[in-house]
Amino acid sequence: MTWLITGGAGYIGAHVVRALTTAGERAVVYDDLSTGRADRLPEGVPLVVGSTLDGERVARALAGHDVTGVVHLAAKKQVGESVERPLHYYRENVEGLRVLLEAVTAAGVASFVFSSSAAVYGMPDVELVTEETPCVPMSPYGETKLAGEWLVRATGRAAGLSTAALRYFNVAGAAAPELADSGVHNLVPMVFDRLTRNAAPRIFGDDYPTPDGTCVRDYIHVVDLAEAHVATARALQSSPGLHLTLNIGRGEGVSVRQMIDTINAVTGYDRPPAVAPRRPGDPARVIASADRVATELGWKATRDVEDMITSAWEGWIHHHPEAARD
């Protein structure tokens, strides 16, 4: 098969491209390069620069490369920005997906993997979040991901397209330093950024009903996440008409304080965190149940938090050499 990966020049996308090509699949990347970088792509992987809102360009890419499956990662993904610019997020994430699916179904593509998010759950009051946990997103970003799942599933059933929605939990780490997350929006790079600037890492609230008072999250290594995409692609390829909705996490919770302690140990900075007020909308605990993905795909995450932080730090130093400790 030939897989078109939208957003394939981004942090997660580049890892998915690498995993697919390593597994022997052919890959083509479609990316507007608004946040992605062409130098992340393996040699020989074609890049088509364009927006998913450009249906004609998408259609040409699908036909020109004989695409038989799509992995759709291209999206706007900052929760705070989505609150400030909801129309922009709905246009990019929902209308862009609609245009893409229109081209995909017209081209007779057989399989479609949709990048969703644990943000669809909102603030679940459960020990483990299963795929049956009610979805009550608390931001326009989460709403667009849930609407995207609905649109993908409905289109799949109407058009005979095999589909999967993968709900990512908290992604960290890197397969190689040059592929590391270059943004400063998630916890690990945010802490790296503070340490590099000789500032204390921040904890937003230490009075949550958790063992150490800080929020607990499920972190997954980006390489494990990418390998889950390969397993999903193979499942859709071998089972026409399949429709999956899967959590992609480790099923283990790690608190913000534990993450910062591990970051301090790995980096050698040893800077105690400062406690700031809670951020509105932060749930105390969000941990995936990873049972369904193990049953459906035979997939399980194998890399731990220290692996994530160590590889992410190597990537941070690659992009920010001034951060290295003697």
Q: Where are the domains of the chain?
A: 2-171+219-248, 173-217+251-323
Give the residue from 93, 269, 292 showing the smallest Cα distance to 194. Answer: 269
How many Cα atoms sit within 13 Å of 143 on the Cβ side?
12
Rounded CA gap, 140 and 137, in Å?
A: 8
* pLDDT tens, residue by residue, 172-217: 999 999 999 988 889 999 999 999 999 999 999 999 999 999 999 9
pLDDT above 70 for 326: no
Pairing of β 216-217 and β 254-255? antiparallel
φ/ψ of 295, rounded to 5, equals: -70, -45
CATH topology identical between 2-171+219-248 and 173-217+251-323: no
φ/ψ of 145, rounded to 5, equals: -70, -40
Cβ 69 vs Cβ 113: under 8 Å: yes
* pLDDT tens, residue by residue, 224-247: 999 999 999 999 999 999 999 999
* pLDDT tens, residue by residue, 260-275: 999 999 999 989 999 9
| Catalytic residue chosen out of the listed positions 141, 168, 208, 219 | 141
Distance from the first to the final alpha carbon of the chain: 47
Cβ 233 vs Cβ 239: under 8 Å: no
Write the single-letter amino acid at 246. L
Considering the four listed CATH numbers 3.50.50.60, 3.40.50.720, 3.10.450.30, 1.10.1420.10, the one that applies to the domain covering 2-171+219-248 is: 3.40.50.720
pLDDT above 80 for 152: yes
Question: Is 141 an active-site residue?
Answer: yes
Predicted pLDDT of residue 279: 86
pLDDT above 70 for 90: yes
pTM of the model: 0.96
Instruction: Give me the CATH topology for the region 173-217+251-323.
Output: UDP-galactose 4-epimerase; domain 1 (3.90.25)
